């Protein structure tokens, strides 16, 4: 009884294969090891193989491996087929009590059905419809809200640590209040304007989601903010960082972005000058000058030691110190491995602010799917006491920016 998975189907199924006891061939185990280290395989596929091997190692009692031995090879010979990996896997399935064999390979399914007499199907993943946004939204009547305020230590909505609860009135859908679950109780969010002398203005949150984002920036060691172009994610993160520097809570902001050309646009090639000159001549320079006013202001802050630009290509030997804030902008353009390298440089007393849009702004196939570093960090970090995350759903830059999201 149970299902048998070939390599292609198991890579798709991942943890869903473990819903019941299943079978694999030792040939599949060998193929997974090859995929993990192969230079010819994509980063996404190698990541999926590594994740799957960890699952197989951690849950050894939940599946059976059919070893490629003389009995398997005799089964291949019995059907007058060559000793290929595919045929060895199909022959292994014949020697089990499996009811179904999963494969994403059409030719393998045809051979399995027509030659080996197996019940072959492709595997279809059941996707989780619930997407983590960093907050939950609830509508409360007056009496229900009063009861909630008297029992703030009751996590009745099942919030993760540092997840936000946005409460709306049942009559007019006005925001009653926003709360953050600390792991022990719900506390009201930070409700002050942000002001940065370096940026020359006060920032007032435009909606309840920006309020939650500001609260996370001020209270959590690590904050990720996602949102579409014009949602305010970069402005909030940079203003909060400079506010903390201007008020002497931290010495400087270390700013970095992966200098990837916009998808479909030709890169300009090598640029002259120092590392700072090169970084300021690209997308990072455009982001900073748009927020600080002009390049002269950015260069003055660099000279004053309030900001430092980090070249990600050389970050392996660097360190983000206790008195620094690491601000990673456009973080949708990093792989999982890049994210590990960058974030492992952060000391325990530092803060980390990250912004990006991994849904619609990735500029290379290298950063898509499970290999997207920002997306993977959010999945792995959510619920940790150090971590907060908020997705900003609204666009505030302009009506034109809002219209472009329909394209």
| 62-121 confidence digits (pLDDT tens) | 999 999 999 999 999 999 999 999 999 999 999 999 999 999 999 999 999 999 999 999
Name the more confident of 297 and 278.
297
Q: Which residues of 113-134 are buried (b: 16+ CB within 10 A; e: fewer)?
A: eeebebebeebeeeeeeeeebb
Q: Do domains 3-121 and 209-404 have the same CATH topology?
A: yes
pLDDT in tens, 356-376: 998 877 666 677 776 788 998
Name the more confident of 189 and 282.
189
What CATH code is assigned to 209-404? 3.40.50.300
The domain locations on the chain are 3-121, 131-188, 209-404
pLDDT in tens, 168-190: 998 888 999 999 999 999 999 98
What sign does the CA torsion over 22, 27, 28, 32 have? Answer: positive
Average pLDDT of the chain is 88
Mean predicted confidence (pLDDT) in 34-62: 88
- The pLDDT confidence band at residue 222, using thresholds 50, 70 and 90, is very high
Given a cut of 60, is residue 291 above it in pLDDT?
yes
DSSP-derived secondary structure for 245-296: HHTTSSSEEEEE---PPPTTS-------S-HHHHHHTSHHHHHHHHHHSSHH
pLDDT in tens, 244-268: 999 999 999 998 888 765 444 334 4
- The pLDDT confidence band at residue 22, using thresholds 50, 70 and 90, is very high
Query: Right CATH number for 3-121 from 3.40.30.10, 3.40.1350.10, 3.40.50.1010, 1.10.3080.10?
Result: 3.40.50.1010
Given a cut of 50, is residue 133 above it in pLDDT?
yes
Given a cut of 70, is residue 130 above it in pLDDT?
no
pTM score over 0.85: no
């Amino acid at each position: 009884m149970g299902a048998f998975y070939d390599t292609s189907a198991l890579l798709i199924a991942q943890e869903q294969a473990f819903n019941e006891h299943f079978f694999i061939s030792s040939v599949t185990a060998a193929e997974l090891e090859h995929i993990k280290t192969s230079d010819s395989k994509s980063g996404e596929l190698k990541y999926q193989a590594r994740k799957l091997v960890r699952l197989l190692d951690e849950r050894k009692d939940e599946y059976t491996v059919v070893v490629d031995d003389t009995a398997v090879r005799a089964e291949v010979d019995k059907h007058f087929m060559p000793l290929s990996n595919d045929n060895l896997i199909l022959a292994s399935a014949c020697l089990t009590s499996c009811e179904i064999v999963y494969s994403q390979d059409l030719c393998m399914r045809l051979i399995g059905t027509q030659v080996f007499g197996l019940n072959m199907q492709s595997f279809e993943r059941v996707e989780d419809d619930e997407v983590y946004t960093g907050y939950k939204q609830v509508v409360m009547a007056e009496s229900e809200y009063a009861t909630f305020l008297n029992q703030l230590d009751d996590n009745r909505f099942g919030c993760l640590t540092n997840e936000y609860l946005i409460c709306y009135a049942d009559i007019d859908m006005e925001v009653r209040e926003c709360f953050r679950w600390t792991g022990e109780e719900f506390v009201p969010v930070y409700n002050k304007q942000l002001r940065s002398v370096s940026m020359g203005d006060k920032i007032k949150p435009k909606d309840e989601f920006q309020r939650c984002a500001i609260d996370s920036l001020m209270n959590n060691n690590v904050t990720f903010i996602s949102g579409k172009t014009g949602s305010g994610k970069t402005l909030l993160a940079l203003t909060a960082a400079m506010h903390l520097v201007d008020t002497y809570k931290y010495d400087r902001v270390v700013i970095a972005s992966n200098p990837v050309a916009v998808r479909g646009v030709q890169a300009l090639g090598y640029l002259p000058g120092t590392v700072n000159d090169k970084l300021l001549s690209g997308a990072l320079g455009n982001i900073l000058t748009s927020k600080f006013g002009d390049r002269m202001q950015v260069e003055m802050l660099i000279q004053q030691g309030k900001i430092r630009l980090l070249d990600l290509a050389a970050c392996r030997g660097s360190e983000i110190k206790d008195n620094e804030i690491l601000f990673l902008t456009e973080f949708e353009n990093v792989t999982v491995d890049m994210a590990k390298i960058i974030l492992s440089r952060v000391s325990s007393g530092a803060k980390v602010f990250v912004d990006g849009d991994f849904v619609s702004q990735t500029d290379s196939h290298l950063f898509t799917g499970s290999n997207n570093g920002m997306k993977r960090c959010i999945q792995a970090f959510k619920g940790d006491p150090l971590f907060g995350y908020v997705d900003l759903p609204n666009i505030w830059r302009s009506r034109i920016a809002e219209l472009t999201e329909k394209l």
